[in-house]
A and B are shown apart, each in its own frame.
Chain A
Amino acid sequence: MTYANPADGVPGDAPRDAVSTYERHRAELRASKRLWNIVALLAFLVCLGLSVWISQFYPERLANGLPRIFEYFGTILPDLQWNLLFEGRTPDGRAVPGSLTFWYTDFWTYLALIWETILMAITATLLGAAVAFVLSFPAAVNLAPNSWVYWVSRRFLEICRGIPEILLALVFVFMIGIGPLAGVLAIAIHTAGALGKLFAEVNENASSRPVEGITAVGGTWAEKMAYGVVPQVAPNFFSYAMLRFEINVRASSIIGFVGAGGIGQELNRVISFYSDDRVMAVLILVVLTVTIIDLISERIRLGYIGRENFA
């Protein structure tokens, strides 16, 4: 350092000490940060090594698998010919290979299953939202009548959303047989848990003034909830329920994998038993359905919230 130290004239060298203390402290901090980074890196590498070893994710297996993946995607592509694309059925009721009719031979079966899937999602969302609505008041810390009601309803909601839907569906299929009812019940239980938590959080953020007002005129607990809390939280509840509906459409389109109804059952069947254009046909319909439902639901949500002037 070439510049003059303003502290040079002062007896003792306290400022010089301050500089060196600062430098020493900085070096220490850097060393400790470097140490932590090395520890984190090592932990990461250990996790990576263990994961690769446990799941047998070796380069040669991947190299063997990759061509097969592309091969598979090649086999499920439809064989369409432009000149035959819109060819109808021949007089004896056969579809011409290479036409859309041939590709989507079972179109009306698929459509009926998609309709069932959507109905399943609507019913499950309504049932789940009803349970969530009832439980969200005792599960909100500021509204619960006493602490053990709060504790019980919170734990109940946690269990409902902790178990994956598809496992619940497996159990229900065993109990009540193959069919959409098992799927509806499984999704409804999961929805109750997930929405219940969100609803309870909304309730916890609600203003306590209307509730106090109803307490002042001698309202019961149920009246406090109905007239003090519900009008405040209803728009938020609606918006969360619509979001959940979108998730449930996805869920009900795959819950058929274990036999619980909907398009998933057909999807599972075509993927497991065939390796041809039927797989692509069903997949396209599922993706289209999910996308369209998402768009509609978004419009409804935004429209409703806009009307309520609720951000």
Chain B
Amino acid sequence: MSIASLSAVTEAQVAGLRQAHPGAFDTPLRRLRRWAPLILAVIYVIGSMWYFEFGRLLDASDRVLRLLRNFVVWQDMETWSYRQIYVGIAQTLAMAFLGTLLGTIGALGAGFLAARNVMPFGIVRQIVRRILDILRGIDSLVWGLVFVRAVGLGPLAGVLAIFVSDLGTLSKLYSEAIENIDRKQVEGVKATGASQLGVIRYGYIPQVLPVFISQSLYFLESNTRSATILGIVGAGGIGMIIIERFRAQLYDQVAFVVLNVLILIFAIDWLSKRVRLWAIGEKHDP
């Protein structure tokens, strides 16, 4: 077949090619198949917007405007009891710190128990893993609510909630880190006749410690976020102050507190990145 120049292609040739290679040309059916997911998604969103009564957002426009004005116009700033606000922020940080610390300590034990290459008894490993799955499956806010019922309002419930949900997640990450280590170092330590404990101390710990530290610092960062909202269910910290003042319709103060929290979270992000780099070097940063 000779190659015709572009201008010399006739309609008949195109029709012939269409017949010869039907796969190379778009047909309405194929176009439909390509666009179908998008069309379905749009239909679904419109339908669900109707189901969720989207119109209520438009009806509420005067309340939206009122709320936005209240957020921006700050009144009687000298009566805002800043002490309470900053104590709440300090409490949030303390909850995140203690919760992460306890979670790390617990995960050190549970992580080794759940790692295939350390724990020889499959049944223990499976039980530990299933318990961790349950701890992880329930959100920290639910744990907060449960612990508020169990030990009362206040930061203790928050610390326990962060501890339990961290225990679930960190143990899983730790056990994966332990399973992914290099066998050679462990065998080297074993060859010297070291005890099981000695093998863990000199064969495993040096390899997994950087990963552990980096994960825990990362969790400290994300727990600061969780700790700010745990107060919404009464588990202490700044969230409690936010929801109290929101219910008391002090929206300008809510805006101020939320602004402070956002600055705090950005600061913690920055600081934790710094500490991570200092403690373990660039290569282990997730």
Chain A residues in the interface with B (C-beta under 8 A): 47-48, 50-52, 54-57, 61-62, 65, 68-69, 71-73, 119-120, 122-123, 126-127, 162-164, 166-167, 170-171, 174-177, 179-181, 184-185, 250, 253-254, 257-258, 267-268, 271-272, 275, 279, 283, 286-287, 290-291
Does B194 lie at the interface of the complex (its beta carbon under 8 Å from any beta carbon of A)?
Answer: no
What does the 1/0 interface line of B151-189 toward A look like (CB < 8 Å)? 110111011100000000000000000000000000000
Q: Which residues from 220 to 238 on chain B have a C-beta closer than 8 Å to any C-beta of chain A?
A: 225, 228-229, 232-233, 236
* In the complex, chain B residues whose CB is within 8 Å of the CB of A272: 145, 149
What does the 1/0 interface line of B71-108 toward A look like (CB < 8 Å)? 00000000000000001001101110110010000000
Asked, given contacts A55-B159, A175-B63, whether A271 binds B138 with beta carbons under 8 Å apart, the answer is no
A257 contacts B232, CB within 8 Å?
yes
Interface centre among B59, B137, B150, B246 (most CB of A within 10 A): B150
Show 17 residue pairs from A and B whose CB-CB distance is below 8 angstroms, ordered by the A residue.
A48-B101, A54-B90, A55-B94, A55-B155, A55-B236, A56-B154, A57-B155, A65-B156, A72-B146, A72-B149, A162-B262, A166-B141, A167-B258, A175-B63, A176-B60, A179-B56, A181-B56
A126 contacts B45, CB within 8 Å?
yes
Q: Could you tell me the dominant secondary structure of chain A's interface residues?
A: helix
A176 contacts B246, CB within 8 Å?
no
A69 contacts B97, CB within 8 Å?
no
Q: Could you tell me the dominant secondary structure of chain B's interface residues?
A: helix
For B, the interface residue count at a CB cutoff of 8 angstroms equals: 58
* In the complex, chain A residues whose CB is within 8 Å of the CB of B160: 65, 69
A52 contacts B98, CB within 8 Å?
yes
Does B134 lie at the interface of the complex (its beta carbon under 8 Å from any beta carbon of A)?
Answer: yes
* In the complex, chain B residues whose CB is within 8 Å of the CB of A65: 150-152, 156, 160
In the assembly, what is the distance between CA of A200 and CA of B213, in Å? 29
Distance to closest chain A CB from B66 (angstroms): 9
In the assembly, what is the distance between CA of A265 and CA of B262, in Å? 27
Asked, given contacts A57-B98, A268-B145, A271-B145, whether A174 binds B67 with beta carbons under 8 Å apart, the answer is yes
* In the complex, chain A residues whose CB is within 8 Å of the CB of B117: none
B94 contacts A185, CB within 8 Å?
no
Asked, given contacts A164-B229, A167-B242, A287-B138, whether A126 binds B145 with beta carbons under 8 Å apart, the answer is no
Cβ contact of A254, chosen from B53, B54, B133, B141, cutoff 8 A:
B141
Asked, given contacts A61-B156, A166-B229, whether A257 binds B67 with beta carbons under 8 Å apart, the answer is no
Does B25 lie at the interface of the complex (its beta carbon under 8 Å from any beta carbon of A)?
Answer: no
Asked, given contacts A47-B97, A54-B94, A56-B154, whether A179 binds B159 with beta carbons under 8 Å apart, the answer is no
